[in-house]
């Protein structure tokens, strides 16, 4: 039995939490595990702590999963979360819990739980959960949720984190009869008109530096207000930047406060963007990472490109 399952068996009250600004893997892993617990341990009291779930994942929303909150839990399971502060408001609940387990695949994970099941080679937290839970007991809802996480973190099986195991795991989930094509189209590729417009604007205003090996775009608060966009509306933009011919690193800056930017970075083959993100107090994976940096957009770009250039020169 996995450490995760033995911790679950011992607990009567369980909280599940993911990272702030939840993405497909975060929502998929939290809701998929909730579904599994509801199927097999109906006597346990389970509550999910997540920030607002983006509309693209409406099919994974279960209101009851988030409604019955307790003050203190026997067990807190942190999913897809690399550090304690990334739990957001749920950090307080985590700190009060008697037992804590973290299941994650961020190379920058700080091992903040009592039990840390961290596999940096796994494509997604959902892939790890499929290994920790008995596959034959995963129901349709959980299979849909886990499949969602895998396709989102692998960019539909094209990022370098996709392995034979990823494909096999996805294969098992597909075998359960889930509507995989619909999940991919509706949660990954479909864009609202608003998303399309802001993406167009970002691409139009992008700039290339280092002979086109690095591409940068900046989303100001004013732009977000103009389009009425939320941060989840920016999903997918960084990938369009990354797949520009000649680009090794794509950077998207989103203004959070005056002189404060959320940084998203993606690389193709050479640069370890996780290293750069960790340097600036953030984290992530070798090919996808993020952090928050204070300063003007010019300063932030200058600071980042210095690190990118250093790695590019080393990789020559
Ligand atoms: P994104 O660019 O999509 O926001 O994030 C890319 C990856 O880096 C994700 O796996 C995300 O969890 C991680 N990440 C993004 N921002 C931060 C941050 O500020 N701190 C940490 N620790 N990880 C981050
Ligand atoms: Mn993930």
Cα–Cα distance, 24 to 144 (Å, whole number): 11
Decide: 34 and 5 in contact? Cβ < 8 Å.
no
Centre of ligand 1 from the C-alpha of residue 291, in Å: 6
Cα–Cα distance, 74 to 16 (Å, whole number): 11
Q: For ligand 1, what atom is nearest to the CA of residue 83? A: 22
Q: Return the pLDDT at 316.
A: 60
Any idea which ligand is nearest the CA of 79?
2
For 230-266, the pLDDT digits (tens) are 999 999 999 999 999 999 999 999 999 999 999 999 9
Helix (H), strand (E), coil (C) string for 120-169: CCCCCHHHHHHHHCCHHHCCHHHHHHHHHHHHHHHCCCCCCCCCHHHHHH
Q: For ligand 1, what atom is nearest to the CA of residue 265? A: 2
In this prediction, residue 136 has a pLDDT band, given cuts at 50, 70 and 90, of very high
Decide: 40 and 57 in contact? Cβ < 8 Å.
no
Cα–Cα distance, 257 to 274 (Å, whole number): 23
For 98-108, the pLDDT digits (tens) are 999 999 999 99
| Mutational pocket test of ligand 1: of 277, 292, 294, the residue with most ligand atoms within 8 Å of the beta carbon | 277
Q: Across-strand partners of 48?
A: 16
For 26-66, the pLDDT digits (tens) are 999 999 999 999 999 999 999 999 999 999 999 999 999 99
Phi/psi at 162 (5° precision): -80, 125
Question: Is residue 217 over pLDDT 90?
Answer: yes
Q: Return the pLDDT at 1.
A: 86
> Region 111-129: what's the mean pLDDT?
98
Residue whose pair of structure tokens reads 């939490």 in the numeric block: 17
Q: For ligand 1, what atom is nearest to the CA of residue 82? A: 22
Cα–Cα distance, 297 to 221 (Å, whole number): 12
Which of 181, 255, 250, 197 minimizes the C-alpha distance to 222?
Answer: 255
For 263-315, the pLDDT digits (tens) are 999 999 999 999 999 999 999 999 999 999 999 999 999 999 999 999 999 86
Which of 207, 204, 238, 236 minimizes the C-alpha distance to 223?
Answer: 204
Any idea which ligand is nearest the CA of 81?
1
For 137-180, the pLDDT digits (tens) are 999 999 999 999 999 999 999 999 999 999 999 999 999 999 99
Provide the mean pLDDT of the chain. Answer: 97
Cα–Cα distance, 215 to 297 (Å, whole number): 14
In sequence order, the 6+-apart residues with CB closer than 8 A to the CB of 91 are 84, 85
Decide: 173 and 147 in contact? Cβ < 8 Å.
yes
């Amino acid at each position: 039995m996995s450490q995760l399952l033995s911790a679950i068996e011992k607990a009567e009250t369980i909280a599940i939490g993911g990272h702030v600004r939840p993405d497909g893997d975060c929502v998929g892993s939290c809701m998929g595990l909730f579904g599994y617990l509801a199927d097999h341990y109906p006597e346990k009291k389970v509550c999910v702590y997540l920030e607002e779930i983006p509309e693209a994942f409406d099919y994974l929303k279960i209101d009851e999963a988030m409604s019955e909150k307790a003050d203190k839990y026997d067990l807190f399971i942190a999913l897809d979360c690399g550090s304690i502060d990334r739990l957001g408001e749920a950090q307080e609940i985590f700190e009060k819990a008697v037992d804590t387990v973290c299941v994650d695949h961020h190379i920058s994970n700080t091992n903040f739980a009592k039990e840390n099941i961290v596999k940096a080679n796994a494509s997604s937290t959902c892939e790890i959960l499929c290994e920790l839970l008995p596959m034959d007991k995963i129901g349709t809802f959980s299979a849909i949720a886990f499949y969602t996480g895998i396709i989102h973190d692998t960019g539909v099986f094209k990022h370098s984190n996709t392995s034979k195991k990823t494909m096999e795991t996805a294969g098992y989930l597909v075998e359960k009869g889930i509507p995989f094509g619909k999940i991919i189209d509706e949660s990954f590729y479909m864009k609202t008109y608003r998303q399309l417009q802001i993406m167009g604007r970002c691409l139009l205003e992008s700039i290339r530096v280092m002979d086109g090996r690095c591409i940068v775009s900046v989303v100001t608060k004013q732009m977000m207000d103009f389009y009425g966009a939320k941060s989840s509306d920016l999903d997918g933009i960084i990938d369009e930047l990354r797949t520009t011919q000649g680009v090794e690193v794509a950077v998207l800056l989103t203004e959070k406060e005056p002189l404060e930017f959320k940084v998203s970075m993606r690389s193709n083959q050479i640069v370890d963007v996780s290293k750069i993100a960790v340097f600036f107090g953030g984290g992530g994976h070798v090919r996808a990472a993020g952090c928050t940096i204070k300063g003007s957009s010019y300063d932030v770009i200058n600071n980042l490109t210095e690190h990118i250039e250093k790695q590019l020169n080393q990789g020559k």
